[in-house]
């Protein structure tokens, strides 16, 4: 990983991303599974029951473009209500296959991004807003636009015209992109937008939205199970198939998606911590500066400060 040497998962994460990943025992995830299982209909494992229930919330492929572009237009509108972005900023969306990730932002410079969505597997309705915010507004696209505007153009720090992926900057990038979802779409506003706009566009029943999102909120507590899988796999304690099985059980991936995720881990390794640990660190930091849900304008303002300056994980603690 570094000059030909590979490090254990935790040490690699600390060296690359300036952060110490937390550990969770398997019993913690088992207790969460039991609670989630009480919410789900049918028989079988919790994962099987969730996948069966969730199948009714997949966006039909022929409606994906309309649903996603509607979501990103709303995310952009909400972001631009708070941030003065350059007049020339824009993006293009492409749908691709054969990738180990769900979505990717290729920032082109000059305020322009190429956003790609992977259609190898079903894309569920909640992912429209998730990906629109994470890859676009106020996520990666806005992060790169503001860094370029503030650090490169205004301060002349040309080194920030290059983004080293395996670096402390990525924890801020991924953590802020995940946290930006709730900044742009607080829970009640998101549910209303989903029910009134996205569910009908996707041909889904809006009456099911509240129950679906209630279960999703509980499932979100399993987020760090993916980090444990990556740690065990990269440290040699689990085989690829055992890792995929763990992901099926504790993160509710279908078997094909779980194997795809092991390919992501192969390529990006301890990078996986940047999404959830990054989100936690960003959220706590913003709240300590007064950017709470009770003061949404302050939250937008503090969030912009983070997006426009060179922070790292240790600076947020």
- pLDDT by residue (tens digit) across 182-196? 999 999 999 999 999
Residue 286 lies in domain = 9-316
Closest by Cα among 229, 134, 232 to 183: 134
pLDDT in the model for residue 3: 76
Contacts 24+ apart (CB under 8 A), 83-88: 83/138, 83/142, 83/146, 83/300, 83/304, 85/111, 85/142, 85/145, 86/111, 86/145, 86/149, 88/112
Q: Is the pLDDT of residue 58 over 70?
A: yes
**How do beta strands 90-96 and 112-118 pair?**
parallel
Residues near 51 by Cβ (< 8 Å), separated by ≥ 6? 252, 254
Q: Is the pLDDT of residue 120 over 90?
A: yes
Sign of the C-alpha dihedral, residues 282, 95, 120, 197?
positive
Domain count within the chain: 1
Q: Is the pLDDT of residue 90 over 70?
A: yes
Domain contains 150: yes
Widest distance between CA atoms in the chain: 60
For residue 103, what are its two tokens?
Answer: 């979505």
Domain contains 136: yes
Domain contains 27: yes
* 81 touches 141 (CB < 8 A): no
- pLDDT by residue (tens digit) across 4-33? 888 999 999 999 999 999 999 999 999 999
If you average pLDDT over every residue of the chain, what do you get? 97
pLDDT in the model for residue 2: 66
Domain contains 59: yes
Domain contains 283: yes
- pLDDT by residue (tens digit) across 167-176? 999 999 999 9
Q: Is the pLDDT of residue 1 over 80?
A: no
* Range 288-301 average pLDDT: 98
Domain contains 1: no
How many Cα atoms occupy the beta-carbon half-sphere of 208 within 13 Å?
Answer: 16
Domain contains 4: no
* Range 117-127 average pLDDT: 97
pLDDT in the model for residue 4: 80
Domain contains 101: yes
pLDDT in the model for residue 167: 97
Q: Is the pLDDT of residue 39 over 80?
A: yes
- pLDDT by residue (tens digit) across 101-116? 999 999 999 999 999 9
- pLDDT by residue (tens digit) across 284-294? 999 999 999 99
């Amino acid at each position: 990983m570094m000059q030909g040497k590979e490090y254990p998962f935790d040490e690699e994460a600390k060296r690359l991303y300036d952060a110490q990943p937390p550990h969770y025992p398997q019993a913690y995830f088992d207790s969460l599974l039991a609670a989630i299982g009480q919410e789900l209909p049918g028989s079988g494992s919790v994962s099987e029951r969730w996948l069966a229930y969730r199948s009714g919330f997949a966006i039909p492929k022929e409606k994906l473009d309309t649903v996603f572009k509607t979501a990103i237009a709303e995310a952009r509108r909400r972001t631009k209500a708070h941030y003065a972005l350059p007049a020339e900023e824009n993006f293009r969306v492409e749908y691709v296959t054969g990738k180990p990730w769900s979505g990717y932002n290729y920032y082109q410079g000059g305020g322009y991004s190429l956003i790609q969505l992977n259609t190898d597997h079903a894309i569920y309705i909640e992912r429209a807003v998730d990906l629109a915010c994470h890859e676009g507004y106020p996520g990666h696209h806005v992060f790169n636009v503001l860094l370029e505007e503030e650090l490169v153009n205004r301060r002349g720090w040309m080194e920030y015209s290059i983004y080293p992926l395996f670096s402390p900057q990525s924890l801020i990038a991924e953590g802020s992109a995940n946290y930006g979802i709730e900044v742009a779409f607080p829970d009640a506003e998101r549910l209303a937008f989903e029910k009134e706009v996205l569910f009908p566009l996707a041909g889904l029943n809006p009456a099911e939205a509240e129950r679906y999102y209630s279960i999703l909120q509980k499932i979100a507590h399993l987020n760090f199970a993916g980090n444990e899988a990556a740690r065990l796999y990269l440290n040699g304690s689990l085989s690829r198939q055992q890792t995929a099985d763990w992901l099926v059980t504790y993160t509710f991936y279908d078997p094909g998606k779980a194997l795809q995720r092991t390919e992501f881990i192969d390529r990006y390794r301890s990078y996986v911590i940047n999404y959830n640990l990054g989100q936690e660190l960003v959220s706590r930091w913003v709240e300590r500066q007064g950017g709470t849900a009770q003061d949404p304008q302050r939250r937008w303002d503090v969030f912009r400060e983070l997006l426009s300056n060179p922070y790292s994980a240790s600076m947020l603690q």
